[in-house]
Structure 1
């Protein structure tokens, strides 16, 4: 099916008149009112003769994109003659304002119902985005809308309706019958489904809107329709999602047999020299060479005169280029035969030089190499010998990271390793001129050595591919945590419709998270914390529920903890009566209520094993998926002078985790700065040895626990 309604004349390029849009969308199964058109008021009475009142008259033409604002709509007309007279009055009013309509549309007025908006607009990064919400006059007042990336599934459509704050209006409400939800879902799929209107429009879509769709107990009717298009080509594979990246083989990127560094100096140490030092300090076991036209060696590393010479030995899999930006395309053109080339240098698109970046990409294509960057730090993989950090690498692990910031990636690795994380593969991609986050993510979906994945993104470059890759990672049962920078700062073009006005970066990322199961966080610390929990608890078959049990000292801290976890959307489900009885048998409840959060005496003189016995008693009657234990480090060292009681408590928490392999245990060490030097590290090491992550605050723990629950829901 192709769109062929006549173009509207006037000042809105690609704007189709309403009646033509309605005739077209009815072919997709969208219900529209019966109607007719007339070129002038004199002809309208005859055109409306076959229609059943009450009637609606609308003018269409240049300057009438928003008809209600222009006074170009009349409702509730009792006859064809009334419709003609209304059109005549409308014409006079519009002409007085300098507007000359092309004609008039007369339709049967739809029965009253709940008004809903359904629209689609093109996002610069992710392509078409579908919006649904309360419509009509409520659209701008309430802004109660939900987004999903196209194409959507039926489950997506139903989740969109469930996500509305005003969803009760769609159900039976104060004697009014429920709307026909199936009919509304059918409209959503007709617009945003795999074979829907958005897919048919492809690259030509600018904005599309049905507002309102009037929904009642027996169906849904689109009483207004707007379409703005460009003259683009039909839908491309990338637009429909059919061209998503197949997983490439990046094994040698993360475990090269040899590395060549371009840009090291014999006179003045620079970034090239720094990276030679990094590889040597990391104990790189493969072949390491520097590229220099005359020097026999640099800093003890043997030199070759060119990348072409390095490639002839067939064991250089990775070249690192650290020369001025203007020289980079020439260097990359000489890299034929080397699978991967990383350009560390900046000064390309990010600095207002897109032509230079285009030339760099063309050079990579000519040489037949895959390009990482430009403007990136490179790759880190302790098992594969790759590094962009100083010092000895950490121990190999199962946490992967893809980052568009090299500096932030370095912080995540170093801070994460300080806290006990172990990384499998880390890639910084900078401008992502060639290798994209989507490609690397698709590769990691099939990487047996990776269990959890972190992302730091600013511009995904290939948003459609990223969404497809996130779905493949979800299918592979690997949780993903994403920190997105610049969500509030990206510009949006002015929107002609309500739909376009309610699309934002934050909302698109949230929609992506809902559709793919990725967890969005708002800080580097939360990214590390969530990856920590996902790494330690990835193998646990915890129930996929939102219930959390919180247990620890201090009523005030427990109240605040309840607020934090409730705000994170987690449920502090109450303790069943048999559990409360069991707790009383343990001597609890005499001076405090037996509730969730549960207050127990924890301190330098407390029984460290009480937490284990209390949780065991509770879980015998209610299987909480997550148990968050907390301690106040300050109290241990205000009322005691030894770290042993705190360490004993930590050992008890670890024993609890070992006793309950299918429950996720988390430890919060509040006021850790009050502990003597080294105690926090000792607590963290002890807890991690039993598979328990440690956090400094309830807020950090809540973010991590939420990530764990999303992972369980997404892979159940």
Structure 2
């Protein structure tokens, strides 16, 4: 669409654009006489095919007088002709006054749909890359957060004596473009961009505008990291209706299809896993009456179960699933579908599931883990049933999170691996888990959004802490961008916007995911108490003081404290000054300097109860949301010989947590220096008290930040 046509669209939506005229006859000098009604200085622009970036082609001239326009147009046409570009016509406009140059754009993400971008604009938009993104529709709160997040936000509020711009006009423009009922709903995106928008104390003017409908963009479909092509709608209207997933996680009986009587395979491995859990079990085999001591039937139609695991070659899976009438859920472990370049097998498999009336998990997934339901896909027995759920597109990573997480004290309610997710999707599972009585927090590992809009809505509506780990975030979009907006919207930026807008934590590694879930598990009940209005801390006289926010870091070694301050700053966690009540008490407690982080003598010859006393005084004087206590484990065994002083410190910290609704976190620095078994003892003490334990300040900082972002504050 030509620029003047886009501006007519904007004008109709109430967006201010410069006054101007269109000259469609190139070389007709008399046509420019209509510009006599325009106020100088004037701007001349050419339009036509190949002129998406006019400045690069020399198709823009500023500061013209009326008498200069015709000559400038002739010279511009000659320049363009030398480049092989034929202009269709010219646009002559009044030149906007100086102001802050912004870029406002829309782009249609293949997974999540229309995305709004705002940032510092002009010709340096892609150089500065100072932008913020949100999914449409945006709220006014979203818009204000976007503007405040810009590194150059000070320019909007007046800088070095300049008057502030009309911020309300900027907000109104963004709502007109990306808010409910905005232009994003009426455009066939593609890409849509206003660059620059000139913001001044008297309002905003869209100086340049471009619109490339979707039919010209030819976007490539998103690709699952494993290779499975999946093209989801960006609206949620066609999202699956949530089913009951009780039988998925707690089946009355399980069938395994694909175990061998002669050569042990994955099917046999799962038979052994299930035999160990004690769930009622049947094998499916075309000839045998039993497999590995498990009774066998000839097909799923005879199995009489509500969950079946299929581990046969990809080519045979659809045939097996067609026989699954009456089976609530079928999980296809087998690979070799879309991820192997054979999407036709995926379509056949889904059709078979639909015909049988069963829900399909996978293919290319490991299955389900649920201690309450005796469901498992990992060896080593079932862990304790807990309140943390996990949804993962990777079965291998899910197994690692389960085993490493349980080693660190996590207890899981439900874990589902979804693989290629041709039927049951992460969004559908998350919606169900958000209503599950057994689940209080959710972690997700995803590689593509599948139905991104439904996923975003499920994240935003989860109503519980969510930590999100996304694989492949560093990849750029798969299509060439014709606008600055398209070039500035990467896969990573989209996921960051989704997390920010939905109020969930985006983590960067498996370790951070486990750490965030450990924090949610330990402090979720305290978050619930505070959310219900009982924001209080127990004082010495038994009364309660109101809870607040902010974080106190407390422990030995000034150097470690300085590094801790850096780690928490990088994570976006505020370390507030110490309250006067604590400062006045410090000398009495034998501490003669105070700051946050607060250095106290913790070691083999220190008094273990000191940490409990200091925390008690601190939260009475200022209701910290979080207290992060750290110890140098190495010092206890370099300057001492027994574990008891360290364990006494742990018990004192546990006692403080039992008295307070402030969330206490422990960092065991240099924990590898402890003798075998000591860290396990500390972990048991902390788990019983509801205190998460981390080995580094960086890990603790990320977890505490997650607690603040995910509504556990």
In which range does the TM-score fall when normalised by the shorter chain?
over 0.9
> How far apart, in 2, do the equivalents of 1:50 and 1:281 lie?
87
> What is the CA deviation profile of residues 530-580 of structure 1, one whole-angstrom value per residue up to 9, with x for unaligned ones?
101111101224679762111111112111111111111112222133321
1:11 aligned partner: none
> How far apart, in 2, do the equivalents of 1:162 and 1:562 lie?
24
- Any conservation in 1 of the 2:232–2:450 contact (CA below 8 Å)? no
TM-fit CA distance, 1:492: 2.6
TM-fit CA distance, 1:43: 4.4
What's the Cα RMSD here? 1.9
2:201 aligned partner: 217
2:605 aligned partner: 605
TM-fit CA distance, 1:653: 0.1
State which of 38, 49, 72 in structure 1 corresponds to 2:23.
38
2:685 aligned partner: 686
Q: Does residue 300 in structure 1 map to residue 293 in structure 2?
A: yes
> How far apart, in 2, do the equivalents of 1:709 and 1:93 lie?
57
1:577 aligned partner: 580
State which of 267, 270, 277 in structure 1 corresponds to 2:272.
277
> What is the CA deviation profile of residues 417-464 of structure 1, one whole-angstrom value per residue up to 9, with x for unaligned ones?
112111000000011111111111111111111001001111121111
Question: How many residues get paired?
Answer: 681
TM-fit CA distance, 1:242: 4.5
- Any conservation in 2 of the 1:193–1:199 contact (CA below 8 Å)? no
- Any conservation in 2 of the 1:545–1:709 contact (CA below 8 Å)? no
> More displaced, 56-65 or 485-494?
485-494
Q: Secondary structure at the match of 1:383?
A: helix
Q: Does residue 90 in structure 1 map to residue 83 in structure 2?
A: no
> How far apart, in 1, do the equivalents of 2:590 and 2:234 lie?
64
State which of 545, 559, 570 in structure 2 corresponds to 1:556.
559
1:3 aligned partner: none
State which of 183, 189, 199 in structure 2 corresponds to 1:205.
189
TM-fit CA distance, 1:682: 0.3
2:543 aligned partner: none
> More displaced, 536-545 or 294-303?
536-545
Q: Does residue 644 in structure 1 map to residue 629 in structure 2?
A: no
Q: Does residue 174 in structure 1 map to residue 160 in structure 2?
A: yes
1:489 aligned partner: 475
User: What runs of 5+ residues in structure 2 fail to find an aligned partner?
Assistant: 218-230, 536-546
TM-fit CA distance, 1:373: 0.6
TM-fit CA distance, 1:641: 1.9
- Any conservation in 2 of the 1:37–1:47 contact (CA below 8 Å)? no
TM-fit CA distance, 1:258: 1.6
Q: Secondary structure at the match of 1:87?
A: helix
Q: Secondary structure at the match of 2:382?
A: coil
State which of 420, 439, 456 in structure 2 corresponds to 1:450.
439
- Any conservation in 2 of the 1:281–1:391 contact (CA below 8 Å)? no
1:188 aligned partner: 174
TM-fit CA distance, 1:412: 0.7
1:676 aligned partner: 675
Relative to structure 1, the CA distance from residue 652 to residue 358 in structure 2 (aligned partners, 3 Å threshold; closer, same or farther) is: same
- Any conservation in 2 of the 1:583–1:617 contact (CA below 8 Å)? no
- Any conservation in 1 of the 2:191–2:213 contact (CA below 8 Å)? yes
Q: Does residue 513 in structure 1 map to residue 499 in structure 2?
A: yes
> How far apart, in 1, do the equivalents of 2:548 and 2:147 lie?
22
Q: Secondary structure at the match of 2:499?
A: helix
> How far apart, in 2, do the equivalents of 1:491 and 1:185 lie?
28
- Any conservation in 2 of the 1:436–1:460 contact (CA below 8 Å)? no
> What is the CA deviation profile of residues 590-645 of structure 1, one whole-angstrom value per residue up to 9, with x for unaligned ones?
xxx21111111111121100001111112221111110111111111122222111
State which of 370, 374, 390 in structure 1 corresponds to 2:379.
390
Relative to structure 1, the CA distance from residue 191 to residue 305 in structure 2 (aligned partners, 3 Å threshold; closer, same or farther) is: same
Q: Does residue 538 in structure 1 map to residue 524 in structure 2?
A: yes
> How far apart, in 1, do the equivalents of 2:283 and 2:85 lie?
72
Relative to structure 1, the CA distance from residue 243 to residue 323 in structure 2 (aligned partners, 3 Å threshold; closer, same or farther) is: closer
Pairing of 1:221-620 with structure 2 (within 5 A): 221-231=205-215, 238-284=233-279, 287-310=280-303, 313=304, 316-473=305-462, 476=463, 478-489=464-475, 491-541=477-527, 547-589=550-592, 593-620=593-620
Q: TM-score, normalised by structure 2?
A: 0.93
2:63 aligned partner: 76
> How far apart, in 1, do the equivalents of 2:693 and 2:213 lie?
53
User: What runs of 5+ residues in structure 1 fail to find an aligned partner?
Assistant: 1-15
> How far apart, in 2, do the equivalents of 1:249 and 1:84 lie?
71
Q: TM-score, normalised by structure 1?
A: 0.92
> How far apart, in 2, do the equivalents of 1:430 and 1:218 lie?
54
> How far apart, in 1, do the equivalents of 2:232 and 2:670 lie?
54
> How far apart, in 2, do the equivalents of 1:439 and 1:49 lie?
62
TM-fit CA distance, 1:60: 0.6
- Any conservation in 2 of the 1:307–1:335 contact (CA below 8 Å)? yes
- Any conservation in 2 of the 1:398–1:449 contact (CA below 8 Å)? yes
Q: Does residue 635 in structure 1 map to residue 635 in structure 2?
A: yes
TM-fit CA distance, 1:241: 4.3
> How far apart, in 2, do the equivalents of 1:241 and 1:165 lie?
34
TM-fit CA distance, 1:703: 1.0
TM-fit CA distance, 1:335: 1.4
Q: Secondary structure at the match of 2:151?
A: coil
- Any conservation in 1 of the 2:191–2:211 contact (CA below 8 Å)? yes
TM-fit CA distance, 1:50: 3.0
2:5 aligned partner: 20
State which of 29, 34, 48 in structure 1 corresponds to 2:14.
29
> More displaced, 243-252 or 182-191?
243-252
> What is the CA deviation profile of residues 33-80 of structure 1, one whole-angstrom value per residue up to 9, with x for unaligned ones?
12221112424323323322222111111111111111111222222x
Q: Does residue 151 in structure 1 map to residue 159 in structure 2?
A: no
